[in-house]
Amino acid sequence: MPDGEELSREFMVSYHQDAIKTVGTANSGGIFFSGVGLYYFGSKSEALAKLLKLSLLGYTLGIVAFAIAALAFLVFVEKQYLTRGQRWLPFEKIAGQVPFGITVVAGVLSLILWVISTITGIVALFDIKV
């Protein structure tokens, strides 16, 4: 087996898929709980409602980034199967693939949006003055 090829076997597909699905699940849960918080506590104060709406917006944008990452990864995997006959590129050459780059950027963006939205939700939960 050539150097680097063991890093791009089929098990890596499920590894990357799980990472993408995890940020999607986290943002989906955030949308649900921000919506519940807005429903129950949005009328308490205008500042609290704004924080919850901002959190809800962040989670929603995180879902959009997740969808882009998932689609780009699907395109990457299909491109590998069609052009390589189910043989994977060595890991060093994966970095140059545009769909994989889009997957990484969109996945990281989704994670960052989740972190920011979660911090915003925590600030709203504890009613910390910003």
Cβ pair 116, 54 in contact under 8 A: no
Query: pLDDT, tens digit, for every residue of 35-58?
Result: 998 898 888 888 889 999 999 999
pTM: 0.79
C-alpha triplet 89, 91, 92: angle, nearest 5°: 105
pLDDT in tens, 10-24: 557 778 888 899 999
What is the spatial distance between Cα 48 and Cα 102, in angstroms, rounded to a whole number? 35
User: Which residue would you say has higher pLDDT here, 14 or 120?
Assistant: 120
Residue type at position 99 = P
Give dist(CA 32, CA 37) in Å, integer: 9
Q: Which helix (H) or strand (E) holds 44?
A: none
Distance separating alpha carbons of residues 121 and 119, to the nearest angstrom: 5
Q: Which is more confident, 63 or 124? A: 63
Q: How far apart are CA 13 and CA 45, in angstroms?
A: 46
Structure tokens at 130: 């910003």
Is the C-alpha dihedral spanning 115, 57, 66, 21 positive or negative?
positive
Question: 3-class DSSP state for residue 17?
Answer: helix
